[in-house]
């Protein structure tokens, strides 16, 4: 055979004859892409790894695109040809190419596990975005320190006003102590009744007292509903204690209408009259008061009967007008004079009044009492 390199000693036999072949693999140094590695001689994609799979450092991806060659791994594979974390997503589109092997079977379409994902983009991975990842879809919250279901960020979704204290309030403020479970928080920490805190923190049927009179806005008497105007504080709550029939008018009166200004001589429906401090029910107090007043009145009447004043001397001359008045009044119950009408105080110490005038009907009273007819 002719010598392809007559001026240089060599042993090549594959690509040329008699040319230098430093590694002795049969390929001349000029044709051998690995002139010093006997097991490799060609590299199709020029990635630096030989095509011979049986040789040293074989290329497992012999046709790597040229633009990926600078990024091949130790197997000679570019990003689009390899799956570094074995999650089934090739590295060129895998946003999490280093997913731990125990999570590789649970990656999303981006090749990321829950521990590597941040669905809401708040910078906190899903698995630690709130307890058990409950805030992974809410960028405004990422923690619930006291575990009450309200996020620590007070300005975020369902923000916790008391993030270091487990609480269930959700009406006036969220996540604060609510002793009676009515949704309104207990006063405290700079938050008072005027801010919306519970006006009666240990009674679940009441939480506000708009007029501050100790009678609360909710009521247990459905008959009160008709008398309440739209926009008034409070509502009907079965079993509501110490209800206020007049929630806009402060009054400590319990009778006849709890929380309403007293109306003399008028008996109205007073609704719920329980006490708030465990004392006697207000209704019982009212009954005792009425019985006591009746007994006192009876005693006074007996005493007055025994001290009946002497009849004032009648006028000896009665006018025709007087006779006419008597005739008109015969058989009728007489209306007593108004208490403001004044008579004349006699020697017996009683005040006397002929009423109607010239009727020969006389009334008497003590100095500060009400008129009684003399019989």
User: What are the pLDDT digits (tens) for 158-210?
Assistant: 999 999 999 999 999 999 999 999 999 999 999 999 999 999 999 999 999 99
Lookup result for tokens 């429906």: 269
Confidence of residue 54 (pLDDT cuts 50, 70, 90): very high
Tokens 């938050």 correspond to 191
Residue 25 has pLDDT above 80, yes or no: yes
- Report whether pLDDT(262) > 80: no
| Per-residue tokens: 65 | 């695109």
Instruction: Classify residue 107 as exposed, middle or buried by CB count within 10 Å of its CB (0-12, 13-18, 19+).
Output: buried
For β-strands 351-354 and 372-373, DSSP reports them as unpaired
Backbone angles phi, psi at 327, to 5 degrees: -65, -40
The percentage of the chain sitting over the pLDDT mark of 70, rounded to a whole number, equals 82
**pLDDT, tens only, 200-247:** 999 999 999 999 999 999 999 999 999 899 999 999 999 999 999 999
Average pLDDT over residues 7-27: 95
**Binning pLDDT at 50, 70 and 90, where does residue 9 land?**
very high
**pLDDT tops 60 at residue 5:** yes
DSSP 313: P
Mean pLDDT of 43-68: 96
Whether this model's pTM surpasses 0.95: no
pLDDT of residue 190: 94
- What's the pLDDT band for 310 if we cut at 50, 70, 90? low
State the Cα–Cα distance between residues 290 and 126, nearest whole angstrom: 71
What is the C-alpha radius of gyration for the chain, rounded to an integer number of angstroms? 52
Cα separation of the two ends of the chain: 168
The distance from CA 161 to its chain's CA centroid, rounded to whole angstroms, is 10
Q: In what order do the strands lie in the sheet with 362-365?
A: 344-345, 351-354, 362-365, 372-373
Task: Kindly indicate the confidence band of residue 357, based on its pLDDT and cuts at 50, 70 and 90.
Answer: confident
Check residue 143 and give its pLDDT: 95
Residue spans of the domains in the chain: they are 205-307, 320-327+336-373
Chain segment 265-299, per-residue pLDDT in tens: 443 443 444 444 444 555 566 577 778 777 776 76
Comparing C-alpha atoms, which of 108, 110, 107, 133 is closest to residue 120?
133
- The neighbour count for residue 276, using CB atoms within 10 Å, is 14
């Amino acid at each position: 055979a002719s010598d392809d390199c007559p001026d240089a000693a060599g042993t090549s036999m594959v690509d040329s004859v008699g040319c230098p072949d430093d590694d002795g693999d049969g390929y001349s140094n000029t044709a051998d892409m690995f002139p010093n590695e006997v097991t490799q001689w060609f590299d199709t994609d020029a990635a630096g790894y030989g095509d011979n799979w049986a040789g040293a450092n074989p290329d497992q991806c012999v046709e790597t695109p040229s633009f990926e060659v600078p990024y091949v791994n130790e197997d000679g594979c570019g990003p689009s040809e390899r799956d570094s974390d074995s999650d089934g997503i090739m590295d060129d589109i895998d946003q999490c190419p280093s997913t731990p092997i125990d999570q590789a079977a649970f990656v999303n379409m981006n090749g990321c596990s829950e521990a590597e994902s941040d669905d809401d983009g708040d910078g906190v991975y899903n698995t630690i975005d709130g307890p058990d990842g409950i805030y992974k879809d809410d960028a405004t919250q990422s923690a619930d320190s006291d575990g009450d279901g309200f996020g620590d960020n007070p300005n975020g979704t369902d923000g916790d006003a008391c993030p270091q204290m487990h609480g269930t309030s959700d009406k006036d403020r969220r996540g604060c102590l609510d002793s009676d479970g009515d949704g309104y928080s207990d006063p405290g920490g700079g938050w008072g009744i005027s801010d919306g805190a519970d006006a009666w923190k240990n009674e679940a049927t009441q939480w506000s007292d708009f007029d501050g009179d100790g009678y609360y806005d909710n009521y247990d008497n459905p008959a009160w509903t008709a008398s309440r105007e739209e926009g008034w504080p409070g509502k009907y709550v079965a079993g509501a204690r110490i209800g206020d029939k007049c929630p806009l008018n402060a009054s400590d009166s319990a009778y006849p209408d709890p929380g309403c200004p007293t109306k003399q001589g008028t008996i109205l429906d007073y609704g719920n009259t329980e006490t708030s401090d465990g004392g006697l029910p207000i209704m019982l107090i009212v009954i005792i008061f009425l019985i006591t007043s009746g007994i006192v009145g009876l005693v006074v009447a007996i005493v007055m009967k025994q001290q009946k004043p002497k009849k004032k001397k009648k006028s000896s001359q009665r006018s025709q007008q007087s006779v006419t008045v008597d005739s008109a009044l015969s058989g009728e119950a007489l209306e007593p004079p108004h208490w403001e009408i004044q008579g004349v105080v006699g020697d017996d110490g009683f005040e006397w009044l002929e009423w109607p005038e010239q009727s020969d009907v006389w009334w008497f009273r003590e100095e500060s009492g009400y008129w009684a007819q003399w019989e």
